[in-house]
């Protein structure tokens, strides 16, 4: 193979209480990427849809991981990456992770699958460092592994796939930008022990609830007493939309990644549709342009697409 088309899905990081350790892969939206093998050691970045992506590979979340592949191999190859960016940067649903993970996944396919999934996560984290200044895997891991993932450790990398019952996920993306790097800078550097204990209980409860298929336990555990109280101040209407959605029957939810997107989990499509209307009505009232999605968990992660899937 000399080129490949792939679909790199959006992801939700943190899942409310699991800051930097939990992530979920979404069925939609997704980026479309075409990666071609070159016969010289260089990386070329192109934007298929005209979105102003950085074309300098060291400054691009897809380019940096590919440069790392070239630096640790002695193969005389390079890569040309064309991206149709449907997950906009700053949306809070894994835009940088989709580019980074999609690039290394595609390159690995073209190179004969010489890397494991853990290796792909390790490489893709170089892209996340470009975006936020920090290597983190809570978006990368679910994008590559699919489903819900727990990052037990980054050094050494230890990723655990978490089973889950059927869940319908409703997302609203207010059209404001919250940069991941900025959202990290406002976080408290110290945490009270009582808050840490409560958070640990919620993380353990959420993982147990997902694996047992216990919707009530999932709902009780979707609580964040450390990150959300600070970051929610950056998102207009956050508290109101969360409360109204829970009153409508949603299990719970919160900030997707660093925001501004907000997600809510529901047991069924009817509830998820009611939640979507609540989100739309609120942001219409606030006069903030927005996009909404009703989607599910993507169990497979990145997928290879036929030529006719790429515009």
Q: Looking at residue 108, which CATH number applies to its domain?
A: 3.30.230.10
> What is the per-residue pLDDT for 309?
52
Q: Are residues 63 and 7 in the same domain?
A: yes
Give every strand in the sheet of 290-296, ordered side by side: 252-255, 262-266, 168-174, 290-296
CATH of the domain at 206: 3.30.70.890
> What is the per-residue pLDDT for 50?
72
Arithmetic mean of pLDDT over the chain: 93
> What is the per-residue pLDDT for 278?
98
Q: What digits encode the pLDDT tens for the residues 117-143?
A: 999 999 999 999 998 888 889 999 999
Q: Are residues 183 and 268 in the same domain?
A: yes
Provide CB contacts within 8 A for 89, sequence distance 6+: 95, 96, 131, 177
Using 50, 70 and 90 to split pLDDT, how confident is the model at 306? confident
> What is the per-residue pLDDT for 181?
65
Instruction: Tell me: pLDDT of 186 over 70.
Output: no
Catalytic residue at 180? yes
End-to-end alpha carbon distance in the chain: 20
Q: Would you list the DSSP string of 59-75?
A: GSTTHHHHHHHHHH---
Q: What digits encode the pLDDT tens for the residues 221-265?
A: 999 999 999 989 889 999 999 999 999 999 999 999 888 999 999
Which of 125-129, 175-179, 303-307 shows the lowest mean pLDDT across its residues?
Answer: 175-179
Task: Tell the residue number behind the tokens 């479309």, with chain if given.
Answer: 32
Taking the C-alpha atoms of residue 84 and residue 51, their distance in angstroms, rounded to an integer, is: 8
> What is the per-residue pLDDT for 285?
96
pTM recorded for the entire structure: 0.92
Provide CB contacts within 8 A for 151, sequence distance 6+: 20, 21, 22, 23, 137, 138, 141, 157, 158, 159, 160
Q: Are residues 121 and 186 in the same domain?
A: no
Taking the C-alpha atoms of residue 90 and residue 259, their distance in angstroms, rounded to an integer, is: 8
> What is the per-residue pLDDT for 96?
93
Q: Are residues 249 and 220 in the same domain?
A: yes
Q: What digits encode the pLDDT tens for the residues 5-51?
A: 999 999 999 999 999 999 999 999 999 999 999 999 999 999 887 77
Instruction: Tell me: pLDDT of 311 over 70.
Output: no
Q: Are residues 150 and 242 in the same domain?
A: no
Q: Are residues 291 and 302 in the same domain?
A: no
Tally of domains in the chain = 2
Q: Are residues 137 and 174 in the same domain?
A: no
> What is the per-residue pLDDT for 90?
81
Catalytic one of 11, 61, 82, 128: 128
> Residue 281: which domain range?
168-296
Q: Are residues 202 and 240 in the same domain?
A: yes
Q: What digits encode the pLDDT tens for the residues 199-215?
A: 999 999 999 999 999 99
- Top-confidence residue, 280 or 85: 280
> What is the per-residue pLDDT for 169?
98
> What is the per-residue pLDDT for 179?
67
Q: Are residues 304 and 292 in the same domain?
A: no
Q: Are residues 142 and 192 in the same domain?
A: no
Catalytic one of 61, 180, 271, 295: 180
Taking the C-alpha atoms of residue 141 and residue 121, their distance in angstroms, rounded to an integer, is: 6
Q: What digits encode the pLDDT tens for the residues 66-77?
A: 999 999 998 899
Q: Are residues 59 and 152 in the same domain?
A: yes
Q: Are residues 292 and 192 in the same domain?
A: yes
């Amino acid at each position: 193979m000399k080129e490949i088309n792939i679909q790199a899905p959006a992801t939700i990081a943190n899942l409310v209480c699991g800051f930097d350790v939990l992530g979920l892969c979404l069925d939609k939206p997704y980026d479309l990427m075409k990666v071609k093998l070159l016969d010289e050691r260089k990386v070329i970045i192109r934007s298929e849809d005209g979105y102003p992506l950085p074309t300098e590979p060291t400054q691009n979340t897809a380019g940096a991981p590919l440069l790392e592949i070239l630096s640790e191999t002695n193969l005389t190859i390079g890569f040309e990456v064309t991206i149709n960016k449907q997950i906009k940067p700053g949306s809070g649903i894994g835009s940088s992770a989709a580019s980074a993970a999609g690039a290394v996944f595609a390159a690995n396919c073209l190179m004969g699958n010489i890397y494991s999934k853990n290796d792909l996560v390790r490489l893709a984290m170089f892209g996340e460092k470009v975006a936020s200044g920090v290597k983190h895997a809570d978006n990368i891991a679910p994008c590559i592994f699919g489903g819900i993932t727990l990052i037990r450790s980054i050094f050494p990398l230890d990723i655990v796939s978490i089973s889950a019952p059927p869940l319908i996920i409703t997302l609203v993306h207010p059209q404001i930008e919250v940069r991941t790097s900025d959202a990290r800078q406002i976080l408290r550097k110290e945490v009270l022990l009582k808050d840490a204990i409560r958070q640990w209980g919620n993380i353990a409860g959420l993982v147990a609830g997902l694996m047992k298929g216990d919707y009530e336990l999932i709902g009780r555990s979707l609580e964040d007493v450390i990150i959300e109280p600070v970051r929610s101040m950056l998102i207009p209407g956050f508290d109101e939309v969360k409360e109204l959605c829970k009153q409508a029957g949603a299990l719970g939810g919160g900030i997707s990644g660093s925001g501004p997107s907000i997600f809510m989990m529901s047991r069924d499509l009817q509830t998820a549709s009611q939640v979507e209307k609540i989100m739309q009505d609120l942001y219409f009232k606030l006069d903030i342009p927005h996009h909404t999605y009703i989607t599910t968990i993507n169990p497979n992660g990145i997928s290879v697409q036929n030529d006719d899937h790429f515009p």
